[in-house]
Amino acid sequence: MKHDIHIVGGGLAGSEAAWQLGRRGFRVRLSEMRGSGETTPAHQGDGLAELVCSNSFRSDDDAQNAVGLLHHEMRQLDSLVMRAGEEARVPAGSAMAVDRDVFSAAVERELAGLSNVEIVRERIDTLPDSGATIVATGPLTAASLANSIATATGQDSLAFFDAIAPIVHRDSIDMSVAWMAARWDKGGKDYINCPLTREQYEGFVQGLLDGEKTTFREWEKDTPYFEGCMPIEVMAERGPETLRFGPMKPVGLDNPHAATPEHPNGRWPHAVVQLRQDNKLGTLWNMVGFQTKLKHAEQVRLFRTIPGLENAEFARLGGLHRNTFLNSPMVLDRQLRLRGAEHVRFAGQITGCEGYVESAAVGLMAGMMAASELSGEEWKSPPRTTALGALLAHITGDAEAETYQPMNINFGLFPPLPDVRKKARKEAYTERAKADLSRWLEARTAMAA
């Protein structure tokens, strides 16, 4: 099929961009390396939009949370990722978590259902010299294409490590020790909690420090970690209490197994390991915040010292992969186009956004931008007061190029509201964003009429 636009990469961003273009009638060639005999260090299969780390899209609260607001905005724009996410949703309190296999299958089914979208299993080694293109190869871009991008941008690629959390079989967890609850009992009893005493916690931290780690190659040694996905052993190196104020925080979790006449609801343990449902069947649970670069045998030994996980069976152990991203404020324009080669757009995590939802959101915007350009229409970006606009502005110019780092969506990227009380500020941000997005959508509709 002759195509109007070529999308390279079938992850969340590439799939979302293909959906936005395909449902508008454009002929799309979607190239995905996996399934052609090639793979990456982190992927398990060849399905489109495979989730390689957590199965969570984080908070779905669109009144108090920036990523929840981003969910809302994407739904308003008929996001494929949000549509498939609803179909694959599993319990996770106020968060949006999905069965990763159901999610990937739903994305692939919807795209395959568009007759004008051609999914091709092939590796692309170089940037094209001409023709509308979106590169959405993500943080695991193949070396040959990464080299071509580096040559085209004239900049050295930046990189960081992204670690993968282990997944445990539910029936191997000892529920006479662990219990079901959400913090402060908010959102239902959606998490499995494993309690640790002070002695158990201190022994666990020491085990993290002493455990055998993955050996880095020479070229990887100076690669920085992304703060939002820090391996637990690296956090432990920052101090003995760091984990207790991070992923092992016990606050708001009453242990019913420790109930006494004085404290009938139980007491907070010294530390807690939480597990979140990973599939619709509820048979797989991932260890929240436990991304790690420990060697596999060391993980099994150490994680089985956690109360409730003494006999844990692991469906997947933690891992580590190298992520690559562009210095986007320097090399991309306000429409995500490569300066000097404007027929090429970039989308997703390769632009320096961080997180599944953010990656898909940038893919959504890249698809809409390309559709406007192919139609000869003027493109106007979402207002910076919206989550989409704030994220786009950060990637394409608001951030300092010299210190550019991957970023999740957060209210710090939004134009400030200094006259609003701090306690009411989050709600004010979301109300302003929703109103401004509605006006932007109305203007787009009027322009198309």
Binding residues for FAD: 9-14
Show the tokens assigned to 240.
Answer: 């003995």
CB-CB contact of 139 with 352 (8 Å): no
Show the tokens assigned to 389.
Answer: 């606009």
Terminal Cα-to-Cα distance of the chain (whole angstroms)? 30
CA 76, CA 64: separation in Å to the nearest integer?
Answer: 18
Region of 433 please: left (phi>0), alpha (psi -120 to 50) or beta: alpha
Q: Half-sphere exposure (CA, 13 Å, Cβ side) for 166?
A: 26
Query: Please, what's the largest Cα pairwise distance for the chain?
Result: 75
Q: Half-sphere exposure (CA, 13 Å, Cβ side) for 447?
A: 13
Write the DSSP string, 241-296: TTGGGTTT--TT--BGGG--SS-TT-B--SEEEEEEE-STTS-EEEETT----B-H
Using CA atoms, how far residue 74 sits from 218, 340, 362, in Å, is 41, 30, 10
CA 34, CA 289: separation in Å to the nearest integer?
Answer: 27
Helix (H) or strand (E) segment spanning residue 341: strand 341-346
Helix (H, G, I), strand (E, B) or coil at 206: helix
CA 299, CA 303: separation in Å to the nearest integer?
Answer: 6
User: Residues marked as binding?
Assistant: 9-14
Instruction: Please state, as a whole number, how many other Cβ atoms lie within 10 Å of the Cβ of residue 227.
Output: 12
Torsion angle defined by CA atoms of residues 175, 178, 180 and 185, in that order, rounded to the nearest 10 degrees: 160
Count each helix (H run) and each strand (E run) in the chain, helices first: 12, 17
